[in-house]
Amino acid sequence: MRKLLKWIIVTIGITALVHWFRRRSADDEVTATPEPADDPADDLRRKLAETREPSEPEVAPDMPDGSVEDRRADVHKQGQAALDEMKQPDES
């Protein structure tokens, strides 16, 4: 009868230890997950929004005098002059 009682007590003790280890590991898993810190993406979005805010209003660039055709002709003349400078003397 003593051997049977010993076996029952040992079995109950082992069962209690197994439950205790399982509970402890489950608690460790819950506490092991890190708390979400400040999202770095939110910080970057905030900084980007700050840099996009214009510090002073932009001024439209002044348009040169003359019509589009006059400006186009001037650019064409400048390009022709640059090509003439790049040409070698033996080319015509």
Domain assignments of the chain as residue spans, ordered by start = 1-26
Distance between CA atoms of residues 64 and 39, nearest Å: 49
As a whole number of angstroms, the distance between CA 67 and CA 63 comes to: 10
62-73: per-residue pLDDT in tens? Answer: 766 778 899 899
Whole-structure pTM value: 0.31
User: Which whole-number Å values give the CA distances from 30 to 23, 36, 71, in the listed order?
Assistant: 11, 13, 72
Asked if residue 92 has pLDDT above 70, the reply is: no
| Calpha distance 33→13 (Å, rounded) | 31
Judge whether 71 and 64 are in contact, CB under 8 Å: yes
